[in-house]
Chain A
Amino acid sequence: MLLPLVAILLTIVPLKHGAAELLPSGADPILMDNVSALNISIAVFDPGVPEDQSLHRDLQVFPRIREIEAMFLPFVLRETLVETNQWGAVRVVPEADVAVELLVTGEILRSDGEILELEINAVDASGRVWLDKVFGGVVTDNYAERDNESGVSAYQKLYDEIADDLRIARDQLDQKTLTNVVEISLLRYAIQLAPSAFGDYLSRSADGTFTVHSLPARNDPMLDRIQRIRHTEYVITDTVDSKYQMLHAEIASVYDLWREYRRKFIEYQVEDVRRAQTPSSAPRGSYEAIKNLYDIYKWDRITAQAQDSWAVAFNNEVGPKVDAMETRVAELEGWVDQQYVDWHRLLEELFEVETGLDRQ
């Protein structure tokens, strides 16, 4: 186990797109050259499932489907951001990592096939809040009319709005500030792994924002090791991101169907209201009159209960793929978590050896 870690720390790892570049030694203490595009990590959304189970039916929330949507919808946002060509690497990650350059988190407030409401929060590594807003979208066309075309989200307008708001927030910051964000991101990552070596470079104010006190030299060997480790972690992050990409490709069409079924349900409800409001011509108290009252309720309940069948059908179809993906992602994340423990220990030991200072 130790040999691969040492190898990582001593060799240069090939870079994926969007990773911070290794810097030539002997340069000035500014860590980064001017950064033109921030990397974004989009955490899997909060499904927004009420803890009180008794509310699920009233709110028409299907917990397992919400969990799947929470993994699926962030990838649609990812694709939208990538297509704008305004950002560095955009990745979907299973959990929020506060050391990333720009972290986007979200919660699904409503998803009923017709309306999608997301609460989106974007915070950069310095603690600056870029976005904290609820976005709502109404489906504009249905699955049948699009002839089963995949890749075009019915809520594209909502995602475009999120992308626009992020771009507007970024454009309000100057280049120096953006560079500062990247530097803080790297330092926060470094502090997680080697607090003894990097703990003094940043301070946190009462409002939660981070300020850089000083910067390590560009040729700082410990910083070099941190960057190599980060590059290795980026390989895993990109692999995890590709898993979400595969999930999206595999279940997008089924999800569209689910959304369409839900939208039809809402249409049926509207039709039921219209039918119920049409007065029966049968005499009050007659069999036809009371049967009409019963039938109105009966068909409303049958339609509502059909949703349960659709939810089961959806889970039957996509459940195995989601379970397999979750298992693989958990394996990858578990590997990273274990490496973190080893990296942390090794770096602290190295710092002690190199500086002759006891670890705090």
Chain B
Amino acid sequence: MLRMPVMVVLCLVIGACSRQPVIDEGMMRFEGPMPADLSGSWERNYVRDDEVSGVLNQLYYQLARTSPDQRYSGNAGMPTLSQDDMNSVLALARLAELITRPHVLTISQNEHEISIEREDDFAILCAFYDGVAKGTESDYGTEICGWDGEQLVSNLVLAEGLQITHRFTVSEDGTQLRAVTTVSSSTSRVPFTLRRFYTKFERLPPTFNCIETLSMKRVCSTGELVP
């Protein structure tokens, strides 16, 4: 009997949370230098990473418990999930896994910009001028960053309500990086969140010194090559 009011409250809370912007006005501004230094080369620490299947199972269970159309299987107390719910969450999970697949992140940072380069994907670019975030807008999506304390937040809004948020946090000693990626869509009742962990490493000096040119493409030398 109490289940219905609880569900209504829960839905209202979820609804209210989903309408809050990921990056609010306060997060788009800061004073002084960048709150954290994320620069460096970072490689995946697979031991600490979330297991996609584990997160998925937890989400299925949560969805089943809050489903407005609850049905129970033959096992008493085990809620089931509609096929639509499962498909929508699975789609988000697959996309989150794809996006967080890169083994290495290369982050460069200066007073205005933070660039997070990823293999086989575009670089996440966070720009701040005079302490104010400057987003990127195109015909296909809007990307903007902000600081939540010392946590860098990047939010990408695409068409049809698809939204991808990355939260980057560096450990105090600067050797560990945590990236929390959340994918949400208007077609799914809940977002999918995956945590990835990275360890800082020093790249070995290259055997050849190379620079890119336009007419000769990459030019390399065993000696010093000054552009």
Binding site for B on A (CB under 8 A): 52-54, 57, 253-254, 257-258, 261, 272-273, 276, 284-287, 289-291, 293-294, 296-298, 300-302, 304-305, 309-310, 312-317, 319-320
- Determine the distance from Cα of A92 to Cα of B127 in the docked complex, in whole angstroms: 38
Smallest beta-carbon distance A96→chain B, Å:
31
Contact with A along B184-211 (1 / 0, CB 8 A): 0101100000000000000000000001
Task: Check B212 against A309 for contact (C-beta < 8 Å).
Answer: yes
Q: Which of A258, A261, A302 contacts B122 (CB 8 A)?
A: A302
Task: Check B91 against A261 for contact (C-beta < 8 Å).
Answer: no
Nearest 4 pairs of A and B residues by beta carbon:
A285-B187, A301-B122, A316-B227, A54-B129
Q: Among the interface residues B112, B123, B139, which one has the most CB atoms of the partner chain A within 10 A?
A: B139
Residues of A near B122 (CB, < 8 A) are: 297-298, 301-302, 305
Known: A57-B136, A276-B139, A276-B140. Is A253-B156 also a contact (CB below 8 A)? Answer: no
**What's the dominant secondary structure at chain B's contact region?**
mixed
Task: Check A300 against B138 for contact (C-beta < 8 Å).
Answer: yes
Does B214 count as interface, using CB distance less than 8 angstroms? yes
Does B178 count as interface, using CB distance less than 8 angstroms? no
- Determine the distance from Cα of A54 to Cα of B127 in the docked complex, in whole angstroms: 8
Smallest beta-carbon distance A113→chain B, Å:
12
Q: Which of A291, A297, A309, A320 contacts B140 (CB 8 A)?
A: A297
Does B158 count as interface, using CB distance less than 8 angstroms? yes
Binding site for A on B (CB under 8 A): 87-88, 90-92, 94-95, 98-99, 112, 121-123, 125, 127, 129, 134, 136, 138-141, 156, 158-160, 162, 164, 183, 185, 187-188, 211-216, 226-227
Residues of B near A305 (CB, < 8 A) are: 122-123, 125
Task: Check A317 against B213 for contact (C-beta < 8 Å).
Answer: yes
Q: List 26 A-B contacts (CB under 8 A).
A: A52-B129, A57-B127, A57-B136, A254-B214, A261-B214, A276-B139, A285-B88, A285-B91, A286-B87, A286-B91, A287-B90, A287-B94, A289-B160, A290-B160, A290-B183, A293-B162, A294-B158, A296-B140, A297-B138, A302-B122, A304-B138, A309-B212, A313-B211, A316-B213, A319-B227, A320-B226
Residues of B near A312 (CB, < 8 A) are: 212
Residues of B near A284 (CB, < 8 A) are: 160, 187
Q: Which of B87, B121, B164, B215 contacts A285 (CB 8 A)?
A: B87
Residues of A near B214 (CB, < 8 A) are: 254, 257-258, 261, 310, 313-314, 317
Task: Check A293 against B160 for contact (C-beta < 8 Å).
Answer: yes
Task: Check A257 against B215 for contact (C-beta < 8 Å).
Answer: yes
- Determine the distance from Cα of A53 to Cα of B132 in the docked complex, in whole angstroms: 13
Known: A290-B95, A290-B185, A301-B122. Is A254-B164 also a contact (CB below 8 A)? Answer: no
Task: Check B136 against A293 for contact (C-beta < 8 Å).
Answer: no
- Determine the distance from Cα of A304 to Cα of B143 in the docked complex, in whole angstroms: 14
Known: A276-B139, A285-B188. Is A293-B211 also a contact (CB below 8 A)? Answer: no
Smallest beta-carbon distance A11→chain B, Å:
44
Task: Check B99 against A316 for contact (C-beta < 8 Å).
Answer: no
Residues of B near A290 (CB, < 8 A) are: 91-92, 95, 160, 162, 183, 185
Q: Among the interface residues A285, A289, A310, A317, which one has the most CB atoms of the partner chain B within 10 A?
A: A285
Q: Which of A272, A294, A298, A316 contacts B212 (CB 8 A)?
A: A316
